[in-house]
């Protein structure tokens, strides 16, 4: 049986046509949900961080599906702020929604692109009829987005995006990320 790591302590009920929000400490690859979101890069061909963990846990079927996407509609790769789905392979989740977050910049405001990742992922989730979706804190690792700001954008965007998804779970990998998301939820 899959185990839900951590206890959901911070919850926001969904407004009409928006998802309820749940925060959990844990590893996104262990989530029993319809779809999990991958913080990928434009190549779609894997990487480190949560991307590496998802490909390791989901097996080669996910990479094969990503290669097919590159060979068909995404010859130049997936643009920053966009999202696309593949099979979930061996994961409990039926689908993986790959999105490409912006790299943090001191000189340019890329917030709209980060918000777009959450919005586009929910749009793709709707096309899959997904009711439960797990997100990592996109861009806040290797792409260096400050966690407090990344959490604020994530919560604000999911809170205001119309969707048929009923539950969005943010799976936070460490205490600092959890605390940042909890603060963002409390600020709502
Ligand atoms: N479950 C949940 N969250 C995780 C996990 C996990 N198993 N592993 C890491 N995190 P990152 P990015 C958290 O670096 O910043 C890859 O190479 C992590 O602590 O995975 O968007 C891609 O291919 C952090 O809070 O993604 C790209 O090249 C968050 O997930 C690049 O990294 C995001 O960290 C994308 O960088």
Q: Give, as one character, the DSSP assignment of residue 108.
A: S
Residue 109 annotated to the active site: no
Distance in angstroms (rounded) separating the CA atoms of residues 18 and 114: 19
- Whether residue 112 is contained in a domain is answered as yes
pLDDT tens string, the chain, 188 residues long: the values are 333 445 555 687 877 899 999 999 999 999 999 999 999 999 999 999 999 999 999 999 999 999 999 999 999 999 999 999 999 999 999 999 999 999 999 999 999 999 999 999 999 999 999 999 999 999 999 999 999 999 999 999 999 999 999 999 999 999 999 999 999 999 88
Q: Provide the whole-model pTM.
A: 0.95
Number of other residues whose CB lies within 10 A of the CB of residue 7 = 8
Catalytic position from the list 27, 34, 51, 126: 51
146-51-137 Cα angle (round to 5): 30
What are the structure tokens assigned to 100, written together?
Answer: 């490409």
Q: Is the CB of 28 under 6 A from ligand 1?
A: yes
Query: 126 C-alpha to center of ligand 1: Å?
Result: 23
- Whether residue 18 is contained in a domain is answered as yes
Residues 6+ apart with CB under 8 A from 34: 93, 94, 95, 125, 128, 129, 130, 131, 132, 133
- Whether residue 68 is contained in a domain is answered as yes
Closest residue to atom 21 of ligand 1, CA basis:
139
- Whether residue 2 is contained in a domain is answered as no
- Whether residue 117 is contained in a domain is answered as yes
- Whether residue 99 is contained in a domain is answered as yes
Containing domain of residue 36, as a range? 11-187
């Amino acid at each position: 049986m899959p185990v839900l790591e951590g206890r959901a302590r911070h919850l926001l009920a969904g407004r009409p046509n928006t998802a309820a929000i749940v925060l959990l400490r844990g590893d996104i690859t262990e989530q029993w949900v319809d779809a999990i979101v991958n913080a990928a890069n434009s190549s779609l061909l894997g990487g480190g961080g949560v991307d590496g963990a998802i490909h390791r846990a989901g097996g080669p079927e996910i990479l094969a599906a990503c290669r097919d996407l590159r060979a068909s509609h995404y010859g130049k790769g997936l643009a920053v702020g966009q999202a696309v789905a593949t099979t979930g392979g061996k994961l409990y989740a039926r689908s993986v929604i790959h999105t490409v977050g912006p790299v943090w910049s001191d000189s340019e405001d890329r917030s709209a692109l980060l918000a777009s990742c959450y919005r586009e992922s929910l749009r793709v989730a709707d096309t899959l009829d997904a009711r439960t979706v797990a997100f990592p804190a996109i861009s806040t690792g290797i792409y260096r987005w400050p966690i407090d700001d990344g959490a604020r954008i994530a919560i604000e965007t999911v809170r205001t995006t119309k969707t048929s998804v009923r539950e969005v779970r943010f799976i936070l990998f460490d205490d600092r990320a959890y605390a940042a998301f909890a603060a963002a939820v409390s600020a709502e």
